[in-house]
A and B are shown apart, each in its own frame.
Chain A
Amino acid sequence: MPVVDVDPDELRHLTGHDEKDDEELKSDLFDLGLEFEGWTEDDEFQLEFAPDRLDRLSVEGVARSLRYHYGDDRGVYVPTTNSAEWTIEVEDQPEERPYVTGAVVRGLDMSEDALESLIQVQEKLHATMGRKRAKGAIGVHDLTMLKGEAASDGTGKSITYTSADPDEATFVPLDADREMTPNEVMAEHETGQTYGDLVADFDRVPAIYDAIGLFSFPPVINGRRTEVSEDSRDLFIEMTGTDQWTIDRMCNIVCYALEARGGKVERVEVQYADDAPGEYAGRTLERPDFEVRTKTVTLDRIESILGVDLDPRDVVDYAERAGLDATETRSEDGVSFEVEIPPYRVDVIHPLDVVDDIGRALGFNSLEPTYPDVSTVGGRHERSRLEDAARDTLVGLGFEDLLNFHMTNEAENFDRMNVAPDDDCVGAAEPVTIQEPYSEDYTILRTWALPSLMMVLENNTHRRYPQDLAEIGLAAWLDDTENTGAAEHRTVAGALARTDASYEDAKARLQAIAEAFDEDLRTPATTHPSFIDGRAAEVVLDGESVGVVGEIHPSVLVEHDLELPVAAFEFRLDALE
């Protein structure tokens, strides 16, 4: 879940509630779903919250939510914007990263706190909506350091989002003191090494130029020339990405944060060339996109979800307290509301999301629980009943019932049992394998359960004997005839570790199980690499060969550091059906 660091003094300042002490603030934040996780080294709150309200990734966003919560603000707020002076011309940009958006914010007083918050909201947006910059990446520049070209339509100034040869273009990136090419940045610069992979296989890399030259290499790093400092007053914000909607919404969240700091938002025109890749070729977009969307939701739906009757005026009130605006409309179908959604609310994508906001404003915990007045007949799945019956039988025979992991590795499942996947015996099968396992202990699903029991014996040689262990659990292997490509079975395994364990001990228990389930048991001799030759048999239940029983081979015992004999069996649970 996202974590945001927030200075409580900043919160008091931005909400205008100097009287709130830290504890009150924490409690109010908890009510909003922002949980206090601890203090940062700089005495800031560390707040954790669910990843829907990404507009709360800045102290300004958190303060805005608090002001609605306190009732200081109501309804939708959309900042006014000044008309565009700057244009982003888009041409020959990489088709893998075709989209760009932007805004200008002027008149900021960038205190240390404001600068920190701006850096934080960028980082947090990169990590969430931006999908680690792959989907959207933000660049913020000191506007006074940009030298615009004359825009192609003759009015205002422009910069250009295009592509560059990664070995030719040069600029001085942030945190560096020399000119570098994009390839050098990716190879040598710390940030370049982190994010270079995103564009490493592009023929030409994303690049933004002004009249002076290259000043940003998105999504990797900005140039040093336009670095924002506490002296910066006017900012140019650009975002590039793989989805226009996503970067436009990221841009909105940043603009709202800066506007709350006293900045004045100025629109930017994004002019896609006629032959530019992507969905907007030939079109000009005015950004930021502060369009207010609407969702229509009926009073019926609100009432049925919340389980209470509501006065339409109260619905409007709850909506406003949530920072939305609701307009009541009546038709022959009943009362419904047209609800306006502010441009920073990226999480509202369906009328149900509005109902949730209304429920939160109403206070879900004020609702009285009711037990749904519908009757259904309960019952266990038949396989689960079978598994329980078999487990009860094993426990009755004195077995300790075990529960082991289904995931294991080839060494445990095969090698240490003397079995190879292509042998023709119980346990031998091509296993289900995990992609990019990060622990070598867990690389496959087990094809049988006896190796798990042997591992438990191995780990408990210091414990009392006899150790009679059993497990009923999953075993799986590759099988083309299955829809998922994997056959999944429940398997029954038992092991008797005692100084005088013999084949007869294991068979005696098998007989008892067969009798309990009224199955005919036969045990024709077989060979199995995990068992001693001449002391191993197939388990044949009602004519079908379903498992193996015998005395474990000394080499397997020694491999598992065991100093006493083990008799064991394993068979498929469905044989007992």
Chain B
Amino acid sequence: MKRPQAQVAVLQAADAQEDRRIDGVAEEADLVPEAATRAAFELEADGLVTVTEATLEHYDLTEEGERYVRESLPEQDLYEAAIDAGADEESVQMGQVIGASGLEGGAVDIALSNFARKGYGRIDSGEITADPDAAPGRDPEMHALEAVADGRAEDADADALDQLERRGLLEISEQTVRSVRLTDDGVTALMEGVEAAETVDQLTPELLTSGEWKDVEFTEYNVEADAEDVPHGKEHILRQTANRVKDTLVGMGFREMEGPHVDAQFWINDCLFMPQDHPARTHWDQFALERPDEIAHLPEDLVERVRSAHKNGVGPDGEGYHSPWEEEVARGLDLRGHTTSLSMRYLSGHEIGELEPPERFFSVEKVYRNDTLDPTHLLEFFQIEGWVMAEDLSVRDLMGTFTEFYEQFGITDLEFKPHYNPYTEPSFELFGTHPETGDVVEVGNSGIFRDEVLSPLGVDCDVMAWGLSLERLLMLMYGFEDIRDVHGTLCDLELLRETEVMR
């Protein structure tokens, strides 16, 4: 029969007549003790050996104990010095004997107390006498020390061993010792012949196809050890967040928009009914471009309708703004400050053709603001933009849609704080309860597009819209404190590698 190498070795080292200790077997078989023990138990399970356990006391000399074995016990030194000083005949000044003995420090106290305990003599009123018959050369404690040192602890006197442990010269511990003995089946197996199975490091195609894998033993690995680092890629955490948002919105029936980053102020601001002298339209807030500086073509009829909305308003009671409106300004190019420019392009019918209600559209795309860079503000960030176009939308529909969206991200108890935007009325800032901290935090801005926005675009139903920054959503969900660590060339690769994936 073929058995793994370790089992064969243990079988061969075991005896049918007497228990043999496994450590001895292991040594003989050139196995580590753990491997021999495991093999013994495997053999026991197959009825080839018996394994018995015994508890043995194990003795280890302390450093002090080892020193006394090499030299002698302090009380022996004291006794010799006392005999030399004649203390066996009459008492001698203790100081004289100690000085002659060469004992120092703590050894003096040890010597004195054991000298008396063992009856080597007497110590009285600073004088010492020695018993000439004491024969410290036959001291049982010294004998026991020497026996332990020689590995013959069984020869030592039990009381002496206890005494040595009390004196701190010896440490006694218990040890479980396992022994094996061949059973009759084991003897039979050996007589029939046992071969060691081959051990292999690597499972190979040859082993599999030849069927040899059945007879081989696989070398054991240290399965707990750390493995080498594997270079591994991961989608950027903001991309993961963006995809989570996109999945959610697609699931809610939204289609994705796409459009230019470099765009005319017309699409970015004028269509949104932002007056041309609005403070947010200065270059301090938006990135106006030096080159290219002007869009080649704007839809002329739309330009006229937008101009009219700004100058005269929309509808019989519409007033418009008392601000200048120049087409030249509208043609100026900016990096878009929001992706509402895409919404304007789509709603105008100039992007993918005229839209008929109902429609839902979204984008999660980059926008650019001339803001101060700080832990929560970047010059470019992702804006989530979404809108719903339908007949007769109410603020209740707006509330229902956004409640649904934010709940997908664990943000609940949405509150709608009436707000002002030039392009929506009514408008609401959205506040929600943070899933971790429970704080009420701002999560977006929303509203129903004004007639002054929709009418020039040729839309005669309602459109509600909202926006928020993706980075803000990420920070809420992940608790990042400095967005610059993940977005941009100052990013920390280690942080990106360690960031858990979004699920």
A: which residues have CB within 8 A of B?
A: 33, 50-53, 128, 131, 134-135, 243, 245-246, 294-297, 304-308, 347, 349-353, 355-356, 359-360, 364-365, 367-372, 374-381, 383-384, 388, 391-392, 394-407, 430, 432-439, 442, 445, 452, 455-456, 459-460, 463-464, 466-470, 474, 476, 478, 482-486, 488
Contacts and interface: CB of A to CB of B under 8 A. Distances in A.
B366 A474 contact: yes
A405 B379 contact: yes
B306 to A, nearest CB: 15
B194 interface: no
Interface stretch (B9-17, B104-112, B172-180, B283-291): B283-291
A421 to B, nearest CB: 12
17 contacts: A52-B420, A246-B322, A349-B320, A350-B313, A352-B450, A371-B401, A372-B393, A374-B357, A377-B253, A378-B254, A405-B487, A407-B380, A439-B373, A452-B489, A463-B493, A484-B295, A484-B296
A352 B489 contact: no
Given A295-B317, A376-B360, A485-B296, 10 more contacts: A305-B395, A349-B319, A367-B399, A369-B403, A374-B358, A381-B257, A407-B380, A445-B262, A459-B489, A468-B231
Interface in B327-347: 333, 335
B38 interface: no
A376 B246 contact: no
Contact of A395 (B235, B315, B403, B491): B235
B448 interface: yes
A439 B368 CA distance: 14
Contacts of A372: 358, 388, 390, 393, 397, 400-401
B322 A433 contact: no
B53 to A, nearest CB: 49
Contacts of B291: 430, 432-433, 478, 485
Contacts of B295: 483-485
B261 A474 contact: yes
B229 interface: yes
Given A349-B320, A356-B425, A467-B493, A400 B256 contact: no
B479 interface: no
Question: Which of B231, B258, B294, B448: most chain A Cβ within 10 A?
Answer: B231
Nearest to B419: A50
B155 to A, nearest CB: 60
A379 B425 contact: no
Interface in B462-503: 462, 486-494, 496-497
Contacts of B321: 349
B316 interface: yes
Contact of A368 (B249, B322, B378, B396): B396
A247 to B, nearest CB: 10
B256 A384 contact: yes
Interface of B: 229, 231-236, 238-239, 243, 246, 249-258, 260-264, 277, 279, 283, 287-297, 313-323, 333, 335, 357-360, 366, 368, 370, 373, 378-380, 388, 390, 392-397, 399-401, 403-404, 415-420, 425-428, 448, 450-452, 462, 486-494, 496-497
Contact of A400 (B264, B289, B390, B497): B497
Contacts of B254: 376, 378
A377 B359 CA distance: 8
Nearest to A394: B233
A483 B463 CA distance: 28
For the complex of A and B, the 7 pairs showing the least CB-CB separation, nearest first, are A485-B292, A307-B394, A50-B420, A307-B396, A369-B399, A374-B358, A52-B420
A383 B399 contact: no
Nearest to A468: B231
A482 B259 CA distance: 13
Contacts of B296: 482-485
A399 B261 contact: no
A488 B253 contact: no
A170 to B, nearest CB: 33
A376 B357 CA distance: 9
A376 B487 CA distance: 34
Contact of A365 (B289, B415, B486, B491): B415
A398 B229 CA distance: 13
B396 A370 contact: yes
A407 B394 CA distance: 40
Contacts of B462: 304
B261 A305 contact: no
B116 to A, nearest CB: 69
